[in-house]
Amino acid sequence: MSTVLILVDSVGGKVSKATAELATFGKKIGDVVAVICSSDAAALLPQLANLSIDRTLSCTGVDFEKHSTGATASALAAVIAKESPSAVLIASTARGKEIAGRLAVKCESGVITDAIDLDADLIATQSVFGGSTTVHSTVTHGTPIITIRGNAIEATSGSATPAHEDFAVTYDGLDKAKVLSLAPAVKGGRPELTEASIVVSGGKGTDGNFAPVEAFADSLGAAVGASRAATDAGWYPHSHQVGQTGKTVSPQLYVAAGISGAIQHRAGMQTSKTIVAINKDPEAPIFDVADFGVVGDLFAVLPQASDGVIAKKG
Ligand SMILES: Cc1cc2nc3c(=O)[nH]c(=O)nc-3n(C[C@H](O)[C@H](O)[C@H](O)COP(=O)(O)OP(=O)(O)OC[C@H]3O[C@@H](n4cnc5c(N)ncnc54)[C@H](O)[C@@H]3O)c2cc1C
């Protein structure tokens, strides 16, 4: 049975949803070894129970928080030498992609970033050029290093008590950049946009009133997104912008309310599993990518939808 390494991704001491998704992809290929490169290992370990993980391995001896991504890449290279895995899977965050790049250089391996699917033969699927082209690719040299976008798969559960080992690593500390301080961003009650399995976005059609968008998002436990027209108008923070120059999301459900569906917006959301569009204009291009469409005024549709969801929950 082949082994697949996944790099445990965490934010502020919490294992992210992306880790469970990496494990699920890993399980398609072989036994999953979750590698922890964090000074928070003791807090992260219990959170890895019940995921599709066969073994956990904590890299010890290095203060990972103090160093840049170089320390993690160096530790992963040592784990690759020990385990000879079939592949290494890493979350497609900015940090994850930097680690993947450094690791690929260290191991002289090929790297694939932003995969939205991966099959048992290690053929990765990417959606490129604003979602207009689907690419299937595979690594032909070294240990394949693949970063996978969040929400690309529904995470499955697994062993309650994966076996654990500590693995001592060293780091020469030759960082060209140093982390001076690290503080997790202060978050509201809603899930992070790129982590959420449901995203409700509002556009220019909200006319600056995001209350019904937020209320519907809250009824579903969803994150709130926005089009660039809405963020440029100052109606919603730029950190919530979805699209070519904003964030790429790929949730199980994406709801676009009062968004026309410009190519630049679609580039950031069209790999969502199910897309629902609410728009007054039946000719709006968003309906071309929508699985379900409601032609209507968002100020009438969204409150009814929220009431419906709340009533269903009892
Ligand atoms: C280089 C570049 C990068 C870009 N990057 C991005 C990006 O990252 N993300 C992004 O979103 N855009 C981006 N854009 C902008 C993009 O081209 C569009 O201008 C933008 O997406 C439009 O936002 P919108 O759909 O909210 O507004 P509009 O296109 O004005 O559409 C508003 C929609 O709301 C509907 N509507 C109005 N009132 C209601 C109502 N009461 N109920 C229901 N529907 C209603 C209208 O019928 C219309 O379809 C970029 C553009 C460029 C040139």
pLDDT 10s digits, 193-211: 988 899 999 999 999 999 9
- Residues 24, 84: Cα–Cα separation, whole Å: 20
pLDDT of residue 153: 87
Q: Is the CB of 231 under 6 A from ligand 1?
A: no
Query: In this structure, are 157 and 204 located in the same domain?
Result: no
Q: What is the pLDDT averaged over residues 40-53? A: 94
Centroid of ligand 1 to alpha carbon of 245 (angstroms): 13
Is any atom of ligand 1 closer than 6 Å to the C-beta of 147? Answer: no
Contact present, 91 and 18 (Cβ < 8 Å): yes
Could you tell me which residues come within 8 angstroms of residue 132 by beta carbon, excluding any fewer than 6 positions away?
none
The ligand 1 atom nearest the CA atom of 286: 49
Domain that includes residue 233, residue range = 198-313
Residue range 118-134: mean pLDDT, rounded: 87
Q: Per residue in 59-84, pLDDT tens?
A: 999 999 888 799 999 999 999 999 99
Q: How far is the CA of 259 from the centre of ligand 1 (A)?
A: 5
Q: With a cut of 90, say whether residue 161 has pLDDT above it.
A: no
How many angstroms is it from 298 CA to the middle of ligand 1? Answer: 14
Q: How confident is the model at residue 166 (pLDDT cuts 50, 70, 90)?
A: very high
Residue 109 lies in a domain: yes
Q: What is the model's pLDDT at position 176?
A: 66
The pLDDT of residue 172: 83
- The per-residue pLDDT for 189 is 80
Domain check: are 33 and 151 in the same one?
A: yes
Residue 104 lies in a domain: yes
16 CB under 6 A from ligand 1?
no
What integer pLDDT is reported at residue 188 of this predicted model? 66
Segment 279-291 shows an average pLDDT of 97
State residue 67's pLDDT score.
Answer: 82
The total of structural domains in the chain comes to: 2
* Residue 233 Cβ < 6 Å to ligand 1: no
Q: How far is the CA of 268 from the centre of ligand 1 (A)?
A: 13
Q: Is any atom of ligand 1 closer than 6 Å to the C-beta of 232?
A: no
Confirm whether 191 is domain-assigned. no
Pocket test for ligand 1, best of 228, 269, 295 (most atoms within 8 A of CB): 228
Q: What is the CA(136)–ligand 1 centre distance, in A?
A: 30
Angle value at C-alpha 154, between 151 and 157, nearest 5 degrees: 130
Q: Establish whether residue 245 lines the binding site of ligand 1, counting it when its CB lies within 6 angstroms of any ligand atom.
A: yes
Condensed to tens digits (0 to 9), the pLDDT of residues 248-271 reads 898 999 999 999 999 999 999 988
Mean pLDDT score of the chain:
92
Lowest mean per-residue pLDDT among 35-49, 169-183, 251-265: 169-183
pLDDT confidence of residue 184: 65
Q: Is residue 264 part of a domain?
A: yes
For residue 261, the model assigns a pLDDT of: 97
When comparing pLDDT for 150 and 231, which is higher?
A: 231
Average pLDDT of the residues in 32-58: 95
- The reply to whether 34 falls in a domain is yes
* Ligand 1 pocket test target in 201, 264, 278, 297 with most atoms within 8 Å of CB: 264
Q: Which of 239, 280, 286, 297 to mutate to test the pocket of ligand 1 (most atoms within 8 A of CB)?
A: 280
pLDDT at residue 175 is higher than 70: no
Residue 80 within any structural domain of the chain: yes
The residue whose C-alpha atom lies closest to atom 48 belonging to ligand 1 is 260
Residue whose Cα lies nearest atom 47 of ligand 1: it is: 281
Question: pTM for the whole thing?
Answer: 0.74
Pocket test for ligand 1, best of 193, 231, 240, 244 (most atoms within 8 A of CB): 244
CATH number at residue 205: 3.40.50.1220
Tokens of 20: 């469970």
* Percent of the chain's residues with pLDDT above 70: 96
Q: Are residues 30 and 160 in the same domain?
A: yes
Q: What percent of the chain has pLDDT over 90?
A: 75
Q: Which residues contact 242 (CB under 8 A, 6 or more apart)?
A: 193, 199, 201, 225, 226, 227, 248, 249, 265, 268, 269
Q: Please indicate, yes or no, whether residues 149 and 211 belong to a single structural domain of this protein.
A: no
Give CA–CA dist 147/20, Å, rounded: 14
Decide if pLDDT at 11 tops 90. no
Identify the residue whose C-alpha is closest to ligand 1 atom 7.
Answer: 243
Cα-only R_g, the chain: 21
Tell how far the Cα of 27 is from the centroid of ligand 1, in angstroms. Answer: 39
In a domain, 177, yes or no: no
Say what the pLDDT of residue 13 is: 87
Among protein residues, the one whose CA lies closest to atom 19 of ligand 1: 229
160 and 202 co-located in one domain: no
301 lines ligand 1 (CB under 6 A): no
CATH number of the domain enclosing 26: 3.40.50.620
pLDDT per residue over 219-237, tens digit each?
Answer: 999 999 999 999 999 999 9
Average pLDDT over residues 36-40: 93
